[in-house]
């Protein structure tokens, strides 16, 4: 839980569920096999043999286990191919690492269980491994008790970390005066199939409706809008309960395929719907009917893919044409302008003083008026 997050479009974050059953930002077994086989083939092995070796090394293992064991796997494969030098085994380990792009998943790899280090201390606030989706009841209620921010400015603050470092949280003037905006589920996906609807009803919907919860706006993000729509239907038909006004339904879109899933989000009877288009990895055209807010950003991390600013402008223009609020969150690690990579001091591209002026747009949706008391 963070009651003062650096994420630009909200005040706080909360995770009633930790872990996730994956998405294209977290490798499947097939993706790992393909990446490994590709690297082995690069090293001069026939495609058939490369594939057989890759299957024997990782098939059936959870992605977390493959990540933790990547140096061991690389050594074994290097031995099997007769190319066990550090350059080749390093390239095999790097091919595995490249598929791990989800920030929440990477944090779990560092904080959770590592089978290669059985004595390592794990952080109890995380799922044991990212794939072991785990419920944390009570977190939402704790967040609900945080103070009401209605009418308050969001000035920059300085916080001291446990290690004694000064951490500056920049101001967010675009949130000034609004109730507290709480981002639900930034460390996993609460709509993973393993999470029962009963739990989502009591832990999320139930808390959002309580008097303390009703003072805030909760923004629930998923990459599974079809399951969110199914949950909304269950809530109505099985529980006779309406979707709370102050619970914003949000879906992630990173490419054209996910853009088509926005139809499912439209089936959620929320007073406000929003999209997080981050990391945007290709130009997308999105049907924005019924959508109130679009947040866009590039990819962060050492293996970040390029973020062509023309894609952000296209999205901004689509939003303008439909009267949808547009919020440029950050440009990521590799923003590209006219075919050239921009060199920014901020590695996340989060300092908009470094951006082209026409992308310094952080609009808040008019629909917020519908969800506030
Ligand atoms: S937490 Fe989100 S980004 Fe990470 S693997 Fe799950 S759905 Fe993908």
SS3 for 45-112 is: CCHHHHHHHHHHHHCCCCHHHHHHCHHHHHHHHHHHHCCCCHHHHHHHHHHHHCCCCCHHHHHHHHHC
Measured in Å, residue 315 CA sits from the centre of ligand 1 at 22
Measured in Å, residue 107 CA sits from the centre of ligand 1 at 12
User: Whose C-alpha lies nearest to ligand 1, atom 4?
Assistant: 102
pLDDT for res 165? 83
Q: Given ligand 1 and candidates 17, 18, 22, which is best to mutate, with the most ligand atoms within 8 Å of its CB?
A: 22
Measured in Å, residue 48 CA sits from the centre of ligand 1 at 32
pLDDT in tens, 154-163: 998 887 877 8
Q: Given ligand 1 and candidates 104, 184, 250, which is best to mutate, with the most ligand atoms within 8 Å of its CB?
A: 104
In this prediction, residue 303 has a pLDDT band, given cuts at 50, 70 and 90, of: confident
Measured in Å, residue 23 CA sits from the centre of ligand 1 at 6
pLDDT in tens, 21-50: 999 999 999 999 999 999 999 998 999 999
CA separation for the pair 193, 148 (Å, rounded): 33
Q: Map residue 181 onto helix, strand or coil.
A: strand
In the predicted model, is pLDDT for residue 373 greater than 70? no
Measured in Å, residue 36 CA sits from the centre of ligand 1 at 22
pLDDT in tens, 65-124: 999 999 999 999 988 888 778 888 999 999 999 999 999 999 999 998 888 888 888 899
Q: Which two tokens stand for residue 296?
A: 């866009």
Average pLDDT, the chain: 93
The predicted model gives 209-219 an average pLDDT of 97
Measured in Å, residue 267 CA sits from the centre of ligand 1 at 22
Atom of ligand 1 nearest to the CA of 224: 7
pLDDT for res 294? 98
pLDDT in tens, 108-146: 999 988 888 888 888 999 999 999 999 999 999 999 999
In the predicted model, is pLDDT for residue 356 greater than 80? yes
User: Whose C-alpha lies nearest to ligand 1, atom 8?
Assistant: 23
Measured in Å, residue 373 CA sits from the centre of ligand 1 at 32
Residue 240 is given by DSSP the state: -
pLDDT for res 372? 80
CA separation for the pair 277, 284 (Å, rounded): 9
pLDDT for res 80? 85
| Alpha carbon distances (Å) from 332 to 158, 259, 308, 351, 358 | 23, 20, 10, 10, 17
User: Whose C-alpha lies nearest to ligand 1, atom 3?
Assistant: 102
Atom of ligand 1 nearest to the CA of 21: 6
User: Whose C-alpha lies nearest to ligand 1, atom 1?
Assistant: 188
DSSP for 288-320? -TT--EEEEE---STTPPPEEHHHHHHHHHHHH
pLDDT in tens, 167-201: 777 899 999 999 999 999 999 999 999 999 999 99
Atom of ligand 1 nearest to the CA of 103: 4
User: Whose C-alpha lies nearest to ligand 1, atom 5?
Assistant: 22
Q: Given ligand 1 and candidates 16, 27, 105, which is best to mutate, with the most ligand atoms within 8 Å of its CB?
A: 105
CA separation for the pair 309, 328 (Å, rounded): 11
pLDDT for res 118? 83
> With pLDDT > 90 as the criterion, what percentage of the chain qualifies?
79
pLDDT in tens, 236-266: 999 999 999 999 999 999 998 888 889 999 9
pLDDT for res 333? 94
Atom of ligand 1 nearest to the CA of 26: 5
pLDDT for res 17? 98
Pocket-forming residues, ligand 1, beta carbon under 6 Å: 20, 22-23, 25-26, 102, 104-105, 188-189, 223
């Amino acid at each position: 839980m963070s009651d003062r997050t650096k994420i630009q479009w909200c005040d706080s974050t909360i995770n009633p569920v930790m872990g996730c059953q994956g998405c294209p930002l977290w490798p499947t077994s097939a993706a790992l096999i393909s990446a490994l086989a590709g690297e082995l083939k690069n090293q001069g092995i026939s495609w058939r043999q490369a594939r057989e070796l890759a299957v024997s090394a990782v098939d059936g293992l959870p992605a977390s286990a493959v990540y933790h064991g990547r140096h061991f796997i690389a050594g074994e494969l290097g031995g099997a191919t007769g190319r066990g030098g550090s350059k080749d085994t390093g390239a095999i380990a790097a091919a595995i690492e490249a598929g791990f792009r989800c920030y929440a998943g990477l944090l779990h790899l560092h904080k959770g269980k590592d089978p290669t280090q059985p004595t390592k201390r794990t952080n109890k606030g995380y799922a044991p491994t990212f794939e072991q989706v785990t419920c944390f009841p009570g977190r939402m209620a704790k967040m609900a008790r945080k103070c009401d921010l209605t009418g308050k400015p969001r000035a920059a603050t300085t916080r001291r970390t446990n290690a004694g470092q000064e951490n500056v949280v920049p101001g967010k003037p675009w949130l000034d005066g609004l109730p507290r905006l709480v981002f639900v589920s930034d460390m996993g996906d609460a709509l993973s199939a393993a999470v029962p609807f009963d739990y989502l009803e009591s832990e999320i919907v139930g808390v959002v409706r309580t008097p303390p919860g009703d003072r805030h706006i909760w923004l629930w993000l998923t990459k599974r809008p079809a399951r969110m729509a199914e949950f909304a239907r269950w809530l109505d038909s099985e529980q006779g309960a309406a979707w709370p006004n102050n619970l914003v339904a949000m879906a992630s879109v990173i490419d054209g395929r996910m853009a088509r899933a926005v139809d499912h989000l439209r089936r959620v009877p929320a007073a406000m719907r929003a999209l997080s288009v981050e990391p945007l990895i290709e130009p997308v055209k999105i049907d924005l009917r019924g959508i109130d807010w679009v947040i866009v950003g590039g990819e962060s991390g050492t293996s970040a893919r390029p973020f062509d600013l023309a894609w952000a402008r296209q999205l901004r223009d689509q939003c303008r044409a439909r009267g949808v609020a547009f919020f440029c969150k950050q440009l990521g690690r590799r923003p590209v302008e006219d075919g050239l990579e921009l060199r920014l001091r901020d590695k996340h591209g989060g300092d908009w003083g470094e951006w082209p002026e026409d992308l310094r747009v952080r609009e808040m949706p008019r629909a917020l008026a519908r969800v506030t008391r």
